[in-house]
Structure 1
Amino acid sequence: MEILEVEVKERLRREAVAERLRDLADMLARHNELEFERGGMRFKVKVPDEVELKVELEVESDERELEIELKW
């Protein structure tokens, strides 16, 4: 049973996506939590020293999708 789920989809330039991924990577490397702000609310999620990483690439004739998932 989910207590909370926050999902945001938006179209960004490739460089902006790279910046967001770097920000997430920095939070993981330097702190033991991830921080998000959505709708005027701030969320902090503690992250343990070890997590499960899943990277999935889907290639179709007209679309590509890369999913990066962290689970703990």
Structure 2
Amino acid sequence: MKDLKFEQKRSLSRLEAADQLTALAAALREGGEAELELGPTTLSLRIPDDLRSEVEVEIGDGEIELEIEFKWPTAPIRTAPSRTVAGTEKAAGRKNAAAKPARSGTGTGRNKGTKRSATKTP
């Protein structure tokens, strides 16, 4: 059973159809709590940052049918809290310090097995 179903069928001019799509595009671009005017009716929706879409075109019986469908969950999606930048830098610094070999005092810093660059300097 659906919690709510809104369906509206009516004839529109090409410009009225474009206005409805423009209003829908503005609501999608804005996100959050959006109010979408559909003719004499106003529909209020919570639009998240991520959603799924489906576009379907059917041609038959002398008509073209174009369906554009967007889906998203009704409940907000919770994300895990992110680690702080400072904590990440400390952990990365310890890891990098342990992974780097100590520099020798020979001046070149190049081992016999080290590959040389293919570019030449003039």
Q: TM-score range by the shorter chain?
A: 0.7 to 0.9
Look at both structures and tell me which one has the larger radius of gyration over its CA atoms.
2
If the length of structure 1 is used for normalisation, what is the TM-score?
0.82
Give the number of aligned pairs: 71
Shift of 1:14: 0.8
Partner of 2:22: 22
Q: Which has the higher strand share?
A: 1
If the length of structure 2 is used for normalisation, what is the TM-score?
0.51
Partner of 2:35: 35
Unaligned runs of 5+ in 2: 73-122
CA RMSD of aligned residues (A): 2.1
Unaligned runs of 5+ in 1: none
* Closer/same/farther in 2, CA of residues 36 and 25 from structure 1, 3 Å limit: closer
Separation of aligned partners in 1, 2:64 and 2:36? 26
Shift of 1:36: 4.2
* Secondary structure in structure 2 of the residue aligned to 1:19: helix
Identical columns (%): 38
